[in-house]
Amino acid sequence: MRGVVPPADSRLIAMQFEAAPGLSRLRALKESFGAATPDLVEAVLDEAARFSSDFLAPLNDIGDRQGCAFVEGRVRTPQGHREAYDAYVAGGWTTLDQPIEQGGQGLPLSLAFAVQELFDRGCSAFGMLPVPQRSAARLIAAFGDTAMKAEWLEPLISGEWAATICISEADAGSDVGRLRTRAEPLSDGEWAITGEKNWISFGDHDLTARIGHCLLARTASADGLSLFLVPDRFGEQRNGVVVRRIEEKLGLHISPTCALGFENARGRLIGAEGRGLQQMFLMITNMRLATGAQGLAIAAGAADLALAYARDRRQGGSPSPVPINRHPDVQRMLLEQAAKVEVLRGLLLTAANYGDLAACEPDEEARKDAGALLQWLLPLVKTTGGEFAFEVASHAVQVLGGAGYTREWPAEQMLRDARVLTIFEGTTGIQALDLLHRRLHGDRRGLRTFLNLARNDAAAASAGRALLPVLDLLEDSVERLVAVADPRAGEAGATAFLHLAALAATGWIAARLVALEDSGREAERLRAAGRHWLALIPPRAASCHAESLAGLDLLEGFEKIDVC
């Protein structure tokens, strides 16, 4: 029998939900947000945990072993996937954060991500379908015309139809300027789309009646890229969308990653011609936050697995062996795992709250502050989620020892599933360059908003003051990087700066956790996690600060290794 991941503690997630900055303001601003009372939140999370255990955890092992099949040009999902997805739709889980007027429940985005954590804990690959589905609904609601909204919003929000994000091509990943897919206007107002798209999650499947591909392409009449909605079918008739293959890959086997060909496929323009990339960022923002949630889910499951195993596994001690959780080195790993989970969870929920505030704050300046803070936090949540997932899963394998390296325990699958999270939706290097060029050399409003909030919270509790030197290092790096004359020197230190900013942001969450006044086991855990993280980050921040400013010295000698 395969080892299992322990059940999630939904009360711990609920406490973090209540502690996240911005929640009280959201509840005051909007009636549907106010409906997310502590009792309702606890009930939703409890039910999500049950659904994850009953439907998704059983699917995870079977699906990882079976994977998806490519049969006669179509993708066939593994045994039990259809039943799990149908139960997901029947439970109304697709509608949580969608607007009431569009058939949703109108609850906070942070609650939707808290639920996603529980679902991805049961089966990380399962959420690769609902995330673009929810994100596409937001995109169409913002930029679609009246007819498109009438046709697509209700089926997407209900889960009857699915969606994808189609950007990457063989020679154009993050470098979208090299996209070659073309769109030609037709006489009836629609467009004929021709090109090849790669790495499309759930680009084809047998779970929904229809798939809408949100696709970037070039037109002859606009300089920029344009955004199109390309259905996979019209009734029983297939559109010109051909599945070339599904990728053989390291992890996330339940999620089919497809190469798609568009052969004069009919599509409809979304929003303004030439503005597709800017519009697509609404979808990308939601999907990058979702990547953070996926990483959090893997990290949380791996940390709990390692802790439970360490309580039972006996090694060392005299005269009788003792549980390995009594050994200092194992305690060190388990403490760091717990700290990473809690600060990442708090950071994700905070970013989600400010995402909602950016949309509904009535005061223009407050709305701008919220939006700028979200954009500052977004690359930090995405990158930290991916890195913590892999690091915590790797530590879980280490704690389990030889058992962790076998399929008898789920730690090895967690490690495989986590590895892609720092790659898709923008690699770590891309996130670092975004932070450097857009948030340092560009508008620093988000940074200023973050520093004000973090300094106030760090000063509110004596233990939180350990964050202040980290914030000083962040500000020093900012000023010195902005002053660098050679762009390559700044870019050489960009990833180290991203990590320094992430340490400051997770330190902010830790400072808030140590200041919690709640009582009980969950609050004690959160305070302990916060204290441990605040103890770890000052030396790590000093190292990142130094590396971020090393400039071209970091690249010295590259020519000597780049030889034939």
CA 271 to chain centre: 26
pLDDT at 177: 87
Q: How far apart are CA 163 and CA 210, in angstroms?
A: 8
pLDDT digits (tens, 9 = 90+) for 369-418: 999 999 999 999 999 999 999 999 999 999 999 999 999 999 999 999 99
Q: How far apart are CA 336 and CA 354, in angstroms?
A: 27
- Helix (DSSP H) and strand (DSSP E) numbers for the chain: 20, 13
For residue 175, give the 3-state DSSP assignment: coil
Q: How far apart are CA 168 and CA 420, in angstroms?
A: 15
Residue 222 DSSP code: -
- Whether a cis peptide bond, with omega within 30° of 0, leads into 319 is yes
- Largest interatomic CA distance in the chain: 86
Q: Is 236 a catalytic residue?
A: no
Q: How far apart are CA 436 and CA 456, in angstroms?
A: 25
Quick check: 275 and 224 in contact, CB under 8 A? yes
Amino acid at 200: I
Region for residue 194 given its phi and psi (left: phi exceeds 0; alpha: psi -120 to 50; beta: otherwise):
beta
Q: What is the pTM of this model?
A: 0.97
pLDDT at 1: 57
* Cα–Cα distance list, 43 to 50, 115, 326 (Å): 11, 11, 36
Bridge partners of 191? 185, 267
Catalytic option among 361, 391, 412, 425: 425
pLDDT at 286: 94
Question: How many C-beta atoms lie closer than 10 Å to residue 221's C-beta?
Answer: 9
Q: How far apart are CA 489 and CA 551, in angstroms?
A: 4
Which residues of the chain fall short of a pLDDT of 70?
1, 564
Question: How many C-beta atoms lie closer than 10 Å to residue 82's C-beta?
Answer: 14
Residue 470: its H or E element: helix 468-482
Bridge partners of 323? 314
